Structure 1
Amino acid sequence: MKLTEHTISVVIGGTSGIGYSVAEKLRERNGTVVVASRRTGLDMTNEERVRKYFDSLGELDHLVITAGSSAPAGEVANIDIRDAQQGFDTKFWGTVIVVKEAAKHIREGGSITLTSGFLSRKTTKGAFVKSAMNAALEATTKILAKELAPIRVNVVSPGITDTEAYIGMASRNKKEMFERNASILPTGRIGQPNDIADGYLFAIDNLFMTGAVIDLEGGALIN
């Protein structure tokens, strides 16, 4: 899709990780790129603040949401429900709130691209919360693509990617985890933010695609 000098793209979660890479790639094109995240003061879970944010921006063309949340690991029988709910409040309900308010301002020919994750369809013991959140987002994407048409709505589903999400891990443990996963992926490596960012640009550019899940997971789903 041709972006003009008047095109406005908003990247929620654009101050780090995949979102930062998306914003940088968009800045190489025509138009204005606006980034927002918790770091800039936007709390996705606060509907009133999100409403005021998009009302203040006015019209826009493309919305990308890469903001995520931490989610507790563990088997269903042992999960801390409050922690699980907090994860859902941010990634799932926060995304719904942002889409609800932003869609009112998206111009004709615009798009919305969400973020799920490969665990939505990769059965992994102990990943109940992430699997449920991501599966819910993928199902919601398809509903939104119908309800918001002709706005196009798609979702990018990344695999393991080297981002700040792992900043809390000891460097040695992180290195070992990345190497272990790379060794079993068909691609032979884990993802980098730029790899995943290309998927969002594809979703923006392709005018014949809506309701799609774009898998960028190094082949994890065929293992």
Structure 2
Amino acid sequence: MTAHPLAGQTVAVFGGSSGIGFATAQAAHALGARIVLVSRSEDRLDRARAALGDAETRALDLRDAPAVRAFFDAREPFHHVVVSAADLSVGPLRQRSLADECAAMDSKFWGAVNVAHAARIVAGGSLTLVSGMIGTRPTGAATMLSAINAAIDTLAKALATEMAPVRVNCVSPGRIETPWWDYLPPDQRLALFDKTAAATPLRRIGRPEEVAAQIVHLMQNGFMTGSVVLVDGGGSVG
């Protein structure tokens, strides 16, 4: 087995400037892939490129469908595309404005749809979406996000039949320690992580690189499509 199984392959990572997306870019880069990082923030992209050492970057908002289309039309087809981007906040539906809930849907669900609609991917390549465990085990503490994640799971399955021979899969993480949680004060964040860990069989939360490992596996496994893979430390059954 070659030490660089993705050598010569191109990988676009939407949401690639931090968290799961950046961990995926690191893992794919280590296996020889050429990386294009896509994110809304130029500053975060600059930091991610410096940390990765070798990557193209593009500032882009997934909610802008024409811009997403132009991004793909200006390049040769990718071997693999990953969508982990989402700009959203969460809470109980009845405690939030409908405008905020529509914005969450626009970012995470319609952002994934925009990429799927425009992506140019080589035959046998892959599109991997990232949903979340609460699509399988919904919670009223994040009602719309539960629904959005379930929709992304189904989107991946349907796209697998539509886009073949391009392979389409979805990775559904549990609670992962990423910068997304930085909106919480440190003591609240730690309490939430401790509470989550206590309720899962592995008694801990996940790390971005653990989700990235599964995403990169899906890039390489040519017989996987239409799958929704839970990477949740057993949280969906705990």
2:64 is matched with 46
1:86 is matched with 103
2:147 is matched with 132
Residue deviations 1:73-98 (CA, integer Å, cap 9, x gap)? 11x44442111100000100011001
1:62 paired with 2:64, answer no
Contact residue 72 and residue 80 of structure 1 kept, 8 A: no
1:221 is matched with 236
Contact residue 113 and residue 156 of structure 1 kept, 8 A: yes
> RMSD of aligned C-alpha atoms?
1.5
Moved over 6 A (4+): none
**Separation in structure 1 between the aligned mates of residue 62 and residue 135 of structure 2, nearest angstrom:** 22
**AA of the residue aligned to 2:28:** L
2:90 is matched with 72
Residue deviations 1:129-173 (CA, integer Å, cap 9, x gap)? 111100111111111000000100000000100001111111111
The sequence identity of aligned pairs, in percent, is 34
2:211 is matched with 196
2:129 is matched with 114
Give the secondary-structure state (helix, strand or coil) at the position aligned to 1:214. Answer: strand
TM-score, normalised relative to structure 1: 0.94
Q: Which stretch shows the higher mean deviation, 123-132 or 153-162?
A: 123-132
Corresponding pairs, count: 220
**Separation in structure 1 between the aligned mates of residue 98 and residue 150 of structure 2, nearest angstrom:** 18
Q: Which stretch shows the higher mean deviation, 63-72 or 114-123?
A: 63-72
TM-score, normalised relative to structure 2: 0.88
**Separation in structure 2 between the aligned mates of residue 206 and residue 175 of structure 1, nearest angstrom:** 36
Unaligned runs of 5+ residues in structure 1 are none
1:8 deviates by 0.6
Q: Which stretch shows the higher mean deviation, 124-133 or 106-115?
A: 124-133
